[in-house]
Structure 1
Amino acid sequence: MPEFKWTGPLRPMKVSPKRSVPKIGWLCPLPDYARTGWPEAEFASSLQHKLEVKTPEQLAKMRAACSLGRAVMDAVAAAIKPGVTTDQLDRICHAMTLMNGAYPSPRNYMGFPKSLCTSVNEVVCHGIPDARPLEDGDIVNLDITVCLDGYHGDLNETYFVGTGSSDPERAERAKALMKCALECLELAMARCTPGARFRDLGEAIQTHANGRGYGVVKDFCGHGIGALFHCAPNVPHYAKNKAVGVMKPGMTFTIEPMVNEGTHRTKHWPDGWTAVTADGGRSAQYEHTMAVTETGLDVLTKRTANSRPFY
């Protein structure tokens, strides 16, 4: 695509064919889009504008899906090192998800060609795993969602690749960006309690990020989750947003702020999926699926003793 104006040094490389899934052996029917590429049930659902309070049985299924999502994340993250391709990371995610009787939720969602999203350096989100080997000093975000027994568990984390010894100053800037993105998520989570407004989370995120000279992406947001991959509420990550609703015990949703080194603006590659920073600066993101409780918050995808350090 010689006429496309790339914003940074990253370029797409060869993408392997979509990985297959068996026709039998699932704990429940696959999401409709697994075969068709179109999430018709999700788009037609009343839960796109109605906030769902889940039953104890539904929450139990959410916890199981999120626990598996965490295990898959930890397994994929353990393989990150210079020379490993993001396509190899996709293979691990795909295989481990299927071996546990679950479906990799991103696969074929609106036609997405892979089983997880891998966003490297200036890629903000929805990066497609390909044949590019990771390099020392890269940062890579893994966005993993599994559908187990009909319920989705969604999380993502950004990891530093290698030691960064070839350019220590650039490495330290990357780690500072990652640290700020994680703090933004934690500050937003600290505001989650029954009665809190979803619209107020963005203020905590943007105030912290802007105070450190970073931009907060406005084009993507957190979301409700459960039997549907995406549903109400919308959870914007910037201040003065118009998100609707207040938190009640039993609600489940994600918070997933994307923090950029420079501008908050994004641009899409010609593949229609890969969103990158408009100025080529790097971007970092962290996400959890969580449930509101009577007293606060239950982080369903929380890290464990097996979770890899971010850097």
Structure 2
Amino acid sequence: MSDASARVADSTGNWVDTLAPQWARPYLRLSRFDRPIGSWLLLMPCWWSAALAAGIAHDVSRLPLTIVLFFIGAFVMRGAGCTWNDITDRELDARVERTRSRPLPSGQVSTKQATAFMVVQAVIGLVVLLQFNRFAVLTGIASLLIVAIYPFMKRITWWPQIVLGLAFSWGALMGFAVTFGRIDVTALVLYAGAISWVIGYDTIYAHQDAEDDALIGIKSTARLFGAHTHQALVLFYGLAVVLIGVALASGDVRWPAWLGLAAFAAHLASQIVRLRIEDPELCLRLFKSNKHAGALLFAGLLADAVMRAA
């Protein structure tokens, strides 16, 4: 198989395709290093909670290291999760135009090779997790159950995005677990807000595959909401902003955090206005733009933490 034919259909011209060694490319594609947006979206709630917790504690001395460790952990654990997802979905992926070129359905790697690679990534993630306190370690390990069941949800429920939200928002709990050795109401409300955000942006993402999903019987909120997607996004994005705002108020944040939340809310509103569910390329661009929405909120929380620690 030529490298050109081995490329993933919805991710071409990236550094994996052009710079990575040939032998490593299928594994980097399994981890989605050719499409790192998911890692960034997994990371954002981690960084939000780390900054918010540091601000509440009036102590940013450990925040830089926590930010770096969360970065490494998010990328390797998202890679492990995607590898698991591809192992469980390899037969379904072979039937969808956008995913049939992935490493497993296209035969670039075997199931055994993919499983071994998943274990390696999980071990790296464990090494990162062990840098934290015992409560944080146990909290991080607890997320694995949700990660394990997620790939099967789209076969049995119209709401797999909720389960994805439970997994991708887990970092909203981790910052408090790392900083305080506990999870309080503020963390839980931040977690709920992040879940609502995930449901919204993954609904946009799922519209890319709505037609193929209908043919093979895969369920999603994109298919469930259909023409009413804009109204659903108003609900879930609005709920995300309100819940995150409640968490910020509970954490007694100052004006930079509120400015970050306002920018986050404006970004989400612009996505709803611009969305055309019949345009897959636009859906992908709007989905990816959530990295910037999350970064705006993080910037506000980080500035708030530094201001309160001064």
TM-score higher than 0.5:
no
Larger radius of gyration, structure 1 or 2? 2
Q: Which has the higher helix share?
A: 2
Normalising by structure 1, we get a TM-score of 0.32
Normalising by structure 2, we get a TM-score of 0.33
